[in-house]
Structure 1
Amino acid sequence: MSNIKLIIEERAANIGKFMVGRLLPFRQKRMVGPFIYIDHMGPVKLNERQNFDVLPHPHIGLSTLTFLFEGSIMHRDTLGNEIEIKPGAVNWMTAGKGIVHSERTPEYLRDSPLYMHGLQIWVALPKYLEQMDPQFSHIEEKDIPSWEEGDLQFKLVAGEAFGKKSPVPVFSKLFMLEIKSKTKQVVNIGNELYGEAGLYILNGAIESEGNIYEPKQLLVAKDSSLCEFTIQENSTIYIFGGEPFPEERFIDWNFVSSDKELIGQAKQKWKDQAFDKIKGDETEYIPYPTFNRK
């Protein structure tokens, strides 16, 4: 990107028994468009005695986007959904006024070695939808728009860009693009994007204004309409962002809202275990943490 404003390095964070690389929120940049939280999970190899088990926990005021590169996760929630997330598919869960979900290694893989690698993303909801009824969608990889331009491979994971629209049912104007290249070449996005934009390097590297940027870096642009850079061979990057909201968003643990009172109510409700339970996953849960580290 020819107009890089900020470079955010992945920071190690513990989500229970699993370490991740946290990209957002960041003290100098809390959000990029409506994207408020991004964790890079792995890559990590779990042996036959280890499992990826994120116990039942609640959310309000956001949509979660789970996108795997390797591995498998069984998603369960209080709407009754139970579905296996596989690489390339998009799991899109909208919490609205409140939902509880768990993410675990599927039963048939629990005694086998397993690689885990992917992105866990939160997208804040517009203020008028923060108290909407919860919803859930699962979109298979084959239904995600993908196309090629020369040696570049594009995939529109979510939102709208390049005259295309992903089937992921988003609630604000946003985009999340995957770009892969096997060769070194110039990428000129031109005026195809809007609002704010961030570029995350999964593997490989990009070059901009004589500087080389490598994996585990999130580059935030000054102006998304001036997005031009050189992508190195065998690289995969993600560009995401969109129109920012006029109101500030607050985060407390797994709760997001423009209203601190709603967060306080959700926090007490979880402490009282008054949220709905997940059928088949009722006995365990993640307690509200003593110290909020987000």
Structure 2
Amino acid sequence: MNNKLLVDERQADLGNFMVGRLLPFRKKRQVGPFTFIDHMGPTKLGPGRYMDVNQHPHIGLSTLTYLFEGQIEHRDSIGSVQNIAPGDVGFMTAGKGVTHTERTPQQLRDGREFAMHGYQIWVALPPELEEMEPRFDYFPAAEIPTWQEGPITFKLAAGEAFGKKAPLQGFSPLFMVDVFSSAETTLKLAGQLCGEVAFVIVKGQINVDSQKVDAGQMLISKTDEQCEICMDANTQLLLFGGEPLRQEHFLLWNFVSSDKDKLQKAKAAWQAKKFPQVPGDDTYIPIPELKR
């Protein structure tokens, strides 16, 4: 695989547990239209320790939530209320501006301990759609295309890949595929994906060009050119990427835009509490002081 980059997770606090952040990093700000990745868990939640991410804003992006374990209750300022369970896909498009919360659902706050593990991935919008009306789309696990090839199980969470098409297409050419192999095997990608490709190793290990890549790492290739990887037994990957957006995009806290002025205006609007609110929620996360 040519032009590859290897990335390690960086730990950060999110609510009451740690997340690993894989994108962006200094050498690579985006993979296709994907601009930010949070790895939530794996961890145990339970009495006195739940996910409670208070009201916060976004512009210029879509958030894609995909879980392996646990649940998240999504609420937003356009009135959406949705529990996202393992295998489901939640896709909130901020457009010109939206506010939301992410919490452990009430039915899991019953004294039990439970596992929490998943990813939230941000997808930048093309410049002409940055001012679109916000919306929320939800696709239950039963609607996600799933198929088997030898020891490998594929789940196409978004976009087009391997000759198949997901219900979620997004707003530019992209793909996200959950891949699990029960036995050691070779995954051949030539002609199966289009655009830049990233491999997030969820569990297990892969081998590429005699280099081992472990869980918690991400491998990036600028193209899918004749690419193949060797997966160890019981290895799970997320493949994601697509065609790069034609304009550079910038990131400021929870805001993404091709126009830096929009980022500053969104920051001022949030500080002035001019964003729409989640119905019945008066929580507020202030913008952190950014390191210079």
Same fold, TM-score > 0.5, yes or no: yes
1:173 aligned partner: 173
Structure 1 residue 80 corresponds to structure 2 residue 59: no
1:147 aligned partner: 147
Q: Tell me which amino acid in the other structure corresponds to 2:41.
A: G
Partners of 1:210 and 1:51 in 2: CA distance: 41
1:254 aligned partner: 254
Q: Which runs of 5+ in 2 are unaligned?
A: none
| Change in 2 beyond 3 A, CA 1:142/1:232 | same
Partners of 2:196 and 2:43 in 1: CA distance: 31
1:15 aligned partner: 14
Give the deviation of 1:4 after TM superposition.
5.5
1:99 aligned partner: 98
Q: TM-score, normalised by structure 2?
A: 0.96
Q: TM-score, normalised by structure 1?
A: 0.96
Give the deviation of 1:271 after TM superposition.
0.6
Structure 1 residue 280 corresponds to structure 2 residue 280: yes
Count of residues in Structure 1 that have an aligned counterpart in Structure 2: 291
Structure 1 residue 269 corresponds to structure 2 residue 272: no
Q: Tell me which amino acid in the other structure corresponds to 1:33.
A: G
Q: Deviations for 1:30-52, whole angstroms, at most 9, x for unmatched residues?
A: 10000000011101112311110
| Change in 2 beyond 3 A, CA 1:292/1:268 | farther
Q: Deviations for 1:200-243, whole angstroms, at most 9, x for unmatched residues?
A: 11011111222221101100114213220111101101111000
Partners of 1:292 and 1:90 in 2: CA distance: 33
Aligned to 1:276, the other structure's residue is in SS state coil
| Change in 2 beyond 3 A, CA 1:51/1:16 | closer
Aligned to 1:190, the other structure's residue is in SS state coil
Q: Deviations for 1:151-208, whole angstroms, at most 9, x for unmatched residues?
A: 1111111011122111114000001111111111111111111111111110111112
Give the deviation of 1:292 after TM superposition.
5.6
2:156 aligned partner: 156
Q: Tell me which amino acid in the other structure corresponds to 1:73.
A: I
Alignment of 1:1-294 (within 5 A): 2-3=1-2, 5-112=4-111, 113-281=113-281, 283-291=282-290
Cα RMSD of the aligned pairs, angstroms, is 1.3
| Change in 2 beyond 3 A, CA 1:111/1:4 | farther
Partners of 1:170 and 1:150 in 2: CA distance: 29
Q: Which 4+ stretches in 1 moved above 4 angstroms? A: none
Q: Deviations for 1:94-136, whole angstroms, at most 9, x for unmatched residues?
A: 0000000000111122243232110010000001001111011
Q: Which runs of 5+ in 1 are unaligned?
A: none
Partners of 1:228 and 1:51 in 2: CA distance: 40
Quick check: 2:15–2:51 contact (8 Å CA) kept in 1? no
Partners of 1:76 and 1:292 in 2: CA distance: 30
Partners of 2:169 and 2:159 in 1: CA distance: 8
Aligned to 1:36, the other structure's residue is in SS state strand
Partners of 1:166 and 1:5 in 2: CA distance: 27
Give the deviation of 1:16 after TM superposition.
4.3
Quick check: 1:38–1:120 contact (8 Å CA) kept in 2? yes
Partners of 1:16 and 1:51 in 2: CA distance: 8
Give the deviation of 1:290 after TM superposition.
2.1
Quick check: 1:49–1:111 contact (8 Å CA) kept in 2? no
Give the deviation of 1:262 after TM superposition.
0.9
